[in-house]
Structure 1
Amino acid sequence: MFEITLNLFGRQIYIPESIVNVYIVVILLLILAAIANRKVKEADPNEKPSGFLNVIEMAVETVENLVKQTMGEKQAWFGPFIFALMAFLLVANLFGLLGFTPPTSDYSVTLTLALVTFTLTQFYGVKNNGIGGYLKGFLEPLPFLLPLNVLGELANPISLSFRLFGNILSGVIIMSLIYNALGFIAPIITPPLHAYFDLFSGVLQTFIFSMLTMIFIGGNFDD
């Protein structure tokens, strides 16, 4: 729907719809953040928030509590990052409800997100344990398990990215097949399927990816 083809320096560069939709999601979230920021500044601190501001406050508090329970009280400062990650994943996963291709049905998107988690995990592993303690962790519980520990660490971003990618893409493929097979009667039959493949699966995968991110990174901190 929004595929882009660019001709640069004699070469044709194709940008698929899923990647274009990444930018659309980011723009939508930036607009939402700007609106929320304006409403917060205009709100009276002595009055109880209502409407849109109340929803935002509840969402922020829910994510903060989830971060504290999963990563520990001292890691509550990870809340904004996890909130941004969950907001992006939720909107991206639910994009199919609007007739768009979900950005997370593109493996390059899910792999990028998984690599961000992997990079933060390794960074805080070295920062909090020192390079010696970080490397020593690969020799535990027994030194001969070093190859398995290394492979297990490298497998995390792969499994994390494929889990999200596979679940979202499978929903896109199944719904496309159903629409092609049923034709004009598809809108009558597909709402329950959209509720499962887009809504339920999208929310569930957002939660799973975010939880695993907090677990992987939080494992490098001492409570």
Structure 2
Amino acid sequence: MNVEINGPKILGYLFGNTNLPITETMRNSWIIMAFILFLCIFLTHRMQKIPKGKQVLAEKAVLMIDGLVESTMGEGCQAFSPYIMTLMMSSLFGSLASLFWMRSTTADLNTTLGWALITFVLITFNKIKYGGIKGYLKGFLEPIFVMAPLNVLSEIATPVSMSFRHFGNMAGGLVITTLIMGALKVLSNAVLGFLPDNIALLQIGLPGVLSLYFDCFTACMQAFIFSMLTMAYVGDARNS
């Protein structure tokens, strides 16, 4: 097995224009969106007044996300629940894509930066909506006007830090696992040189354990953290 650490592959070009590449991340994102859509349709198909079976799971998930949004952002914020749930599911399944022989969408900075920019727009919109344009601009001058440059940098740093945090954790796991796989192949060839070159016996076992951590535990944690940061920032913008 050849071990390489590269960015997402370019699968083709939209309308043949080399400035509009279709990448592996884009393809995998569409697959994940289709899966989430199918899951939502499946869980909500033939709903009844008395829930049972899959409807119980669907309603439980809705109640949980509504409760999480309300407890984090404050009362009257349940309108954000669909976005937070979509963000959480996209992050989780995007990270878990590697379990199904696909490159994780969250290992591409474009994905996490896109989500962070949407959150940034929500933050700015709510600051202006609840504080007015004058209040929004005045916030850059607090506590004193000389702090304006730092306040502007702080505002810009929000989406940057959110995107790099998520991307860094997922891409870091991908790089570490790939490096260990490469090292185990070299060690296997050195110790078990009598085996055919395409059989790296020492690659069996440990990589599976590492994938279980990086692909499952870290995926769940990063989806939760990114969603919590989104709720915290937007909630603070509404209450500031």
Structure 2 counterpart of 1:114, from 113, 116, 119: 116
Larger radius of gyration: 2
The runs of 5 or more residues in structure 2 that have no matched partner are: 1-7, 185-199
Q: Does residue 66 of structure 2 align to residue 49 of structure 1?
A: no
Aligned to 2:170: 168
Distance between the aligned counterparts of 1:7 and 1:27, measured in 2? 20
Within 5 A, what are the aligned runs for 1:1-223? 3-6=10-13, 8=15, 11=18, 14-38=21-45, 42-46=46-50, 48-50=51-53, 52-182=54-184, 183-222=200-239
Distance between the aligned counterparts of 1:36 and 1:81, measured in 2? 18
TM-score by length of 2: 0.83
For 2:205, what is the secondary structure of its paired residue?
helix
Distance between the aligned counterparts of 1:197 and 1:11, measured in 2? 34
How many residue pairs end up in the alignment? 218
Distance between the aligned counterparts of 1:85 and 1:73, measured in 2? 20
Kindly state the Cα deviation for residue 56 of structure 1 after the two structures are TM-superposed: 2.2
RMSD of aligned alpha carbons: 2.1
Cα distance 1:37–1:184, how it changes in 2: closer, same or farther (>3 A)?
same
For 1:65, what is the secondary structure of its paired residue?
helix
Letter of the 1:45 partner, please give it: K
The percent identity for this pair of structures is 37
For 1:120, what is the secondary structure of its paired residue?
helix
Q: Do 2:14 and 2:22's aligned partners in 1 also have CA atoms closer than 8 Å?
A: no
The runs of 5 or more residues in structure 1 that have no matched partner are: none
Higher helix share: 1
Kindly state the Cα deviation for residue 206 of structure 1 after the two structures are TM-superposed: 0.6
Distance between the aligned counterparts of 2:14 and 2:96, measured in 1? 32
Cα distance 1:188–1:64, how it changes in 2: closer, same or farther (>3 A)?
same
Kindly state the Cα deviation for residue 114 of structure 1 after the two structures are TM-superposed: 0.6
